[in-house]
């Protein structure tokens, strides 16, 4: 489950803070209140929040000064900040943005719009962990302005060039979309209403191509400064919304705030990569030191050279197997985190809106039913059918994400009781594209599905053996999976109708780096890693194979409470 965001509200009025707690609590967010700037800094010392909401007028120091202090601390500079001002105090808004606030809204703004802006700040997923100081990287920001009005583009070019930005302009939205596909920009300014492609389409294209390494900020511009236009833009993924009637000073301040957020994220990512590289260098240095010590020990024991060399070779293979296994699991963990983050948020948004759209269509159909012709009724029926097809397709995507989480379980380093049948089904789901149309899977599951194990490693064993079974079957075939309790523990049997394992090499299949697959198609580590994982469970693996008749792997795991 995604972790609920933690919001720190810095507000002198306890009643106002309680209102924030109630409105955001309905969304499942955690709200912490601090009545003064000093109290808020003490709270941040205890736990770093995901976002801070600051009243500009505080009893001890002003909100812009609190923003500046948060930004000057290397451990807290990535926290998202929203400042509340009075509607008539435009100077306070500019001062807050200049001091480091990510966004600034009037206190009178209705709750729905405030929540939309908070979501826009939180969905960037910025890390608030401590970051070690690193080298500074300065460069000119590259901006792309998209508008069908050449006169307004000329105005933007003149207003932003003076700030030191590299400004590119485009009066053709489709041409701009092509440039965004192969060029990197720090910020895109796009008009909401254009005849060929709307600003919403451009915004969704940019959001769909964002990565941690290439995060492009989006600023929506429009002459139609309505509440609906602002909400629609922010929900589509825009980071900010500015009316064309706004003063150039306001526009420049908003862009500076967006770029500051973008550059903080970029710098944090760079620092994380540098720390990771240093850690790898330290591991490599320790490995080299251990190898040198081993060579010195071998030199002192010439009489036992043959035996020592064999032992050393075996230890090196085991060490390399574990290193490869750890790296593989770490990479898979990053993949799962990326997929969960990138798919779950837009998927929930689309499912929710599809549900609202279906309700709206049914209500409108009920009201208009007496006035519709037979042809219109038929078209309405086809529309309902297509909406249902869309819902089923989105549910399949949702099931795939859930199965991916079930399969990985990389964050579970302790023994836990899991549904082993669900784990097998998740592994089969990822191999379905290799089996479709040629391999039949027969499941003979026993009545007991619960098993106490290390979920992540055991899922990798299932994946390795099932993948080998699929590769062993050429053309049409069958895989039979049987589970059940036996006197020596829980048994999982995987039998395929493939070519079988030659008797001459059958005794070597669990050796690291040994494989019967062609070069480039196998590392020879899958079964070796699986063997070690089952040993870690205090179990064992049995193999029965006959050339031309297939292979059966039987995994025995002791049953523990």
Q: In what order do the strands lie in the sheet with 30-34?
A: 30-34, 6-10, 51-55, 80-85, 103-106
Give yes or no: residues 537 and 459 share one domain. yes
136-145, 253-262, 294-303, 534-543: which has the highest mean pLDDT? Answer: 534-543
Give yes or no: residues 438 and 341 share one domain. no
Domain around 395: 301-408
Residue 172 lies in a domain: yes
Residue 127 lies in a domain: no
No. of helices (H) and no. of strands (E), the chain: 15, 17
Give yes or no: residues 396 and 423 share one domain. no
Give yes or no: residues 147 and 103 share one domain. no
Q: Which of 408, 440, 460 is the last residue of a domain?
A: 408
Give yes or no: residues 223 and 107 share one domain. no
Beta pairing class for 477-486 and 489-496: antiparallel
Residue 377 lies in a domain: yes
Give the percent of the chain with pLDDT over 70: 84
Q: Average pLDDT, whole number, for the chain?
A: 80
Give yes or no: residues 12 and 43 share one domain. yes
pLDDT exceeds cutoff 80 at 299: no
Residue 403 lies in a domain: yes
pLDDT exceeds cutoff 50 at 519: yes
Of 22-36, 153-167, 465-479, the poorest mean pLDDT is in 153-167
Give yes or no: residues 181 and 114 share one domain. no
User: Which CATH number belongs to the domain containing residue 258 in this structure?
Assistant: 3.40.50.2300
Q: Tokens at residue 185, please?
A: 């920009």
Closest of 325, 329, 483, 336 to residue 406, by C-alpha: 336
Give yes or no: residues 427 and 403 share one domain. no
Give yes or no: residues 264 and 347 share one domain. no
Residue 78 lies in a domain: yes
Q: Which of 382, 408, 434 is the last residue of a domain?
A: 408
Give yes or no: residues 423 and 553 share one domain. yes
Give yes or no: residues 545 and 422 share one domain. yes
User: Which CATH number belongs to the domain containing residue 420 in this structure?
Assistant: 3.30.565.10
Question: Which residues on adjacent β-strands are paired with residue 541?
Answer: 555
558: left (phi over 0), alpha (psi -120 to 50) or beta: beta
pLDDT exceeds cutoff 50 at 411: no
Residue 285 lies in a domain: no
Number of domains within the chain: 4
**How confident is the model over 186-223, as pLDDT tens digits?**
899 999 888 888 889 989 988 888 876 678 889 999 88
Residue 281 lies in a domain: no
Residue 290 lies in a domain: no
**Integer Cα distance of 304 and 308 in angstroms:** 6
Q: Which of 269, 286, 317 is the last residue of a domain?
A: 269
**pTM (predicted TM-score):** 0.36
pLDDT exceeds cutoff 70 at 227: yes
Give yes or no: residues 217 and 344 share one domain. no
């Amino acid at each position: 489950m995604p972790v609920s965001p933690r919001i720190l509200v810095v507000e002198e009025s306890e009643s106002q803070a309680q209102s924030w707690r109630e409105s955001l609590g309905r969304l499942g967010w955690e709200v912490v209140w601090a009545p003064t700037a000093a109290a808020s800094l003490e709270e941040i010392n205890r736990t770093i929040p995901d976002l801070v909401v600051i009243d500009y007028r505080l009893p001890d120091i002003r909100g812009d000064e609190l923003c500046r202090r948060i930004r000057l601390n290397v451990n807290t500079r990535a926290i998202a900040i929203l400042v509340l001002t009075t509607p008539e105090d435009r100077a306070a808004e500019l001062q807050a943005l200049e001091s480091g606030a990510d966004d600034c809204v009037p206190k009178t703004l209705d709750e729905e719009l405030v929540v939309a802006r908070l979501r826009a700040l939180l969905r960037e997923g910025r890390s608030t962990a401590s970051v070690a100081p690193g080298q500074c990287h300065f460069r000119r920001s590259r901006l792309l302005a998209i508008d069908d009005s050449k006169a307004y583009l000329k105005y933007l070019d003149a207003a932003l060039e003076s700030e030191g930005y590299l400004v590119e302009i485009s009066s053709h939205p489709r041409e701009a979309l092509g440039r965004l596909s192969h060029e990197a920009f720090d910020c895109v300014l796009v008009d909401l209403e254009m005849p060929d492609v709307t600003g919403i389409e451009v915004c969704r294209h940019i959001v769909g191509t964002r990565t941690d390494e290439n995060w492009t900020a989006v600023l929506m511009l429009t002459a139609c400064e309505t509440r609906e236009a602002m909400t629609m833009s922010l929900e589509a993924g825009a980071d900010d919304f500015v009316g064309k009637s706004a003063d150039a000073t306001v526009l420049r301040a908003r862009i500076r705030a967006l770029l500051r957020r973008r550059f903080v994220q970029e710098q944090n990512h760079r620092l994380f990569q540098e720390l990771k590289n240093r850690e790898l260098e330290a591991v490599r240095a320790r490995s080299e030191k251990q190898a040198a010590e081993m060579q010195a020990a071998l030199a002192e024991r010439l009489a036992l050279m043959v035996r020592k060399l064999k032992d050393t070779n075996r230890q090196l293979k085991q060490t390399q197997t574990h290193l490869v296994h750890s790296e593989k699991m770490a990479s898979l963990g990053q993949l799962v985190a990326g997929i969960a983050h990138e798919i779950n948020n837009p998927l929930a948004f689309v499912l929710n809106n599809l549900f609202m759209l279906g309700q709206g269509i049914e209500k409108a159909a009920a009201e208009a039913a007496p006035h519709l012709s037979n042809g219109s009724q038929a078209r309405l029926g086809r529309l309902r059918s297509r909406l249902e097809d869309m819902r089923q397709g989105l549910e399949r995507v949702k099931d795939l994400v859930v199965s991916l989480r079930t399969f990985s379980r990389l964050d579970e380093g302790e023994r836990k009781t899991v549904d082993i049948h669900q784990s097998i089904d998740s592994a089969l789901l990822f191999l379905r594209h290799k089996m479709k149309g040629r391999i039949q899977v027969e499941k003979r599951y026993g009545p007991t599905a619960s098993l106490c194990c290390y979920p992540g490693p055991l899922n990798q064993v299932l994946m390795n053996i099932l993948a080998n079974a699929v590769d062993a079957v050429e053309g049409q075939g069958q895989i039979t999976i049987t589970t059940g309790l036996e006197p020596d523990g829980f048994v999982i049997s995987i039998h395929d109708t493939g070519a079988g394992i030659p008797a001459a090499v059958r005794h070597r299949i669990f050796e690291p780096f040994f494989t019967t697959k062609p070069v480039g198609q196998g590392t020879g580590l899958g079964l070796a890693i699986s063997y070690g994982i089952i040993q870690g469970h205090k179990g064992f693996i049995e193999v029965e194979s006959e050339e031309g008749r297939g292979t059966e792997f039987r995994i025995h795991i002791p049953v523990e409470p």
